[in-house]
Amino acid sequence: MEKVGLTSQHLRRYPSELSRGQCQRVNITRALILEPEYIVCDEIVSAIEVTIGTQIMRLLFELQRENGCGII
């Protein structure tokens, strides 16, 4: 969770209590738990504001570099 910018407090929240950007980060965390070879991202930033979308894209590229998984 910390790798994607969330704290342990986010684990106790319901999805309706999270922002769209936080929900995206939770979904990225869920995907990374399985240590995949690649992740398919479908419209990952289309429903959030541009600045948050940019942060999510940077996060994905950083995680790709760290974990060695491909992103489609």
Dihedral, 22, 70, 41, 50 alpha carbons, nearest 10: 60
Q: What pLDDT is attached to residue 71?
A: 87
pLDDT over 90 (residue 16): yes
Task: Give 17-68 pLDDT, tens digit per residue.
Answer: 998 888 888 888 888 888 889 888 886 666 778 888 888 888 888 988 988 8
Domain spans of the chain, in order of start: 2-71
Beta-bridge mates of residue 71: 39
- 35: amino acid identity, one letter: E
